[in-house]
Every structure is written in C-alpha cells, then in structure tokens.
Structure 1
C-alpha cells in the first residue's frame, strides 16, 4: 500500500481589522467603490500606479471589481492582504494598503499603498504602514519589503 501524500493547508493571512490613533484598516466594502474610482483616477496615482495599464482609463467597473473580488481574493489565494484605509474620526476613505507577493516559506512579504488626494500630506500613509508592518511582524513575518 502506497502512503498518502502529505498535504498542507493553504496559508493565508487572517481576516483582521487594525486600528491606530487616527485610522482603521479594514476589508474593502461596496461602500468604498466610488471613492476607489475617484482616487485611482487621480493623476498622481496614475503617474506611479498606471491602473489598469499605462494610457488606459480606470473604470468604475474596475473599482467595483477591486472592492468586491480582487482585494478579497488576495487573502484567500495566500498572496497577501488588502485593507481600505479609513479615517476614524470621519469615516472617510483615505486609500489602500496591503501585502502582496507573500512567500510563506521564508516569511517575507511586500507592502504597498496609495493615498487618495484628499488624504495626503498628513502622515496617514506612514501611520498605516507602521500599523500593518507591526501586525505582520507579530504574525511571524521576518522581512517586509517596501
């Protein structure tokens, strides 16, 4: 009789909400679609993150797909985790932060973010990045690449 092959559960980051003094990092929801659409169409975001590709306009359908499917699938596939950055005092959407290219064997991941034009210049990206990185280190990650 042949031994059964060893199987391992798919690794993925847990569903988690992070909070800082000024921010809540949480999963994207349907309520974020219009803000994602407006933010990603900002010329400065398009300059650095030409989504969906250079010279092609970002559509409302793509924002909807991001919030409903793409961002959640990042966690489910084991690639990483995506959070909406929300200002705690106002509930206003501020941007996106998340991990990608997660390598579970080496406990490494890459962090990336973008901020909506109305949320820039107040240190919110740094605050979100510190919170996400501290959380990842607490989860056992050994290296986070920016």
Structure 2
C-alpha cells in the first residue's frame, strides 16, 4: 500500500487530461503563461517523460514533464499539484516518481524554480555554481559581435 493512497502516479501520457493540466498551467503557474495550448500540447508530445498524479476518481490533479537526452541529463519542468490536493506529500511523490522511479534515476537533473526549494533539495538539487550559464529568450533582433 502506497503512502499516497488513494492517489496514483502514472507515466502514461495517454492518461493525462491535457485540458485539466492546461487549465492549471495557464492560470495558476507563474512560469509558463506565455505559452499557447498548442505549444503546451507539443511540449507534452515531445517530452522524454511525463508523470500525472490522479485522485481516487482518476482525475488529473498534478503533473510533471521532463525533457532529456535520454542518456545522462534531464530537465524537470511544469511540476504542480492542484491546491485542493496539497499537504498530502503528493508533490514529493510526483518528483520521486519522475526522478527516482524512472529510467533517469542516475541522470544529472536540472530545473528552474522560484519556490519549493526545500522539496527539491531533498532530492539532491542544489544552488548552481559559477559554471552555470543561462541565456534568456530574446524577443528582438540585434547584431552582436564575437
């Protein structure tokens, strides 16, 4: 018996209620509201792995998506649990299912987040070091010299 009973985690992308996930991501999530539904659907279709969290009625109440090279590195994205289902350890269960119970358990994992740092630290995530570089999207054209 799972400590998350009667909730279930499943990595079958065909089981996801994409409309429910999109409702959350497009209204509640601070990190990806710039996307259109077609963008999101394409991201799910091309994801290396997705994991859904399902309530006792089978409704999608949480989600995580990963893109990866499939060999050594993975990026964790779009992790959430609907607010009505929080406080039950489901976020921890969702991340555990994605990282430790999947084919990428020995990968180097990356993510960007403004919150839940304690949760991610419990899975070995740490503050980036000086070797980490990032380029933000640019919405203007310009010429640069090298």
The structure, 1 or 2, with the larger RCO (C-alpha pairs under 8 Å, 6+ apart) is 1
**SS across alignment from 2:101:** helix
TM norm structure 2 = 0.55
- Point out the structure with the larger helix share: 1
1:1-146 paired onto structure 2 within 5 Å: 21=5, 22-29=7-14, 32-43=17-28, 45=29, 47=30, 49-52=31-34, 62=37, 66-67=40-41, 69-74=42-47, 80-87=48-55, 89-100=56-67, 102-104=68-70, 107-112=72-77, 113-136=79-102, 141-146=106-111
Unmatched segments (≥5 aa) in structure 2: 112-146
Q: CA RMSD in A?
A: 3.0
Q: Is the 8 A contact 1:39 1:117 kept in 2?
A: no
- Distance, in Å, in 1 between the alignment partners of 2:50 and 2:92 is 16
- Distance, in Å, in 2 between the alignment partners of 1:31 and 1:140 is 22
**SS across alignment from 2:50:** strand
**SS across alignment from 2:57:** coil
Shift of 1:34: 3.0
C-alpha distance 30-108 of structure 1, shift in aligned 2 (>3 A) = closer
Displacement over 6 Å in runs of 4+: none
TM norm structure 1 = 0.55
